[in-house]
Amino acid sequence: MIHKKPLIPQRLRTLQGSFATIEHRFLRDGFWSTLSHHELLLYFLLVLVSDRHGLSFYGYDKLCSLLQISLDDYLEARNRLIQKDLIAFDGSIFQVLSLPGHPEDVPSSILKTQSDMEKSDPATVHLICRHTFGEKAMRKHRQRGQT
């Protein structure tokens, strides 16, 4: 058995006021390893800012600012945390949920196939439209979008 003693006894951590907790099984049961960097950041921040029921009213602008991430990165992380059943969101309130029985391995949103590219890659969609409608029609469409 390992005997542990505080390195700096006069600086023992104590809980004062509100506090946040993460279950040890978050790491032990593999939840940690299923989350991307942005998912981890968002999850931990939501744990820190939530009340004792896991509720938080922080808006996307504040969360993006605190996390120093783009809106796109925030949306992807938020949506994947919802898919993985770690948080719930009703449009204005977040709830950090109790951990499910096991980590959900949600497929990555990385574009791999030509079909993925045709559905989600703006450059590929633009190329398809240009081939389908012609360059002249595309220029006309872009000009209308600028006015």
- The domain locations on the chain are 20-96, 114-146
Confidence of residue 147 (pLDDT cuts 50, 70, 90): very low
**What pLDDT sits at residue 95?**
96
CA–CA dist 113, 3 (Å, integer): 54
**What pLDDT sits at residue 133?**
72
Q: What is the CATH number of domain 20-96?
A: 1.10.10.10
Residues of the chain above pLDDT 70, percent? 82
Terminal alpha carbon distance of the chain: 73
Q: DSSP labels for 62-116?
A: HHHHHHT--HHHHHHHHHHHHHTTSEEE-SS-EEEPPP-SS---PPP----SHHH
> Taking all residues of the chain, what is their mean pLDDT, rounded to a whole number?
84
Return the structure tokens found at 50. Answer: 């939530």
**What pLDDT sits at residue 132?**
75
More confident residue, 2 or 89: 89
The answer to whether 95 and 54 are in contact (CB under 8 A) is yes
Most confident of the ranges 50-64, 115-129, 131-145: 50-64
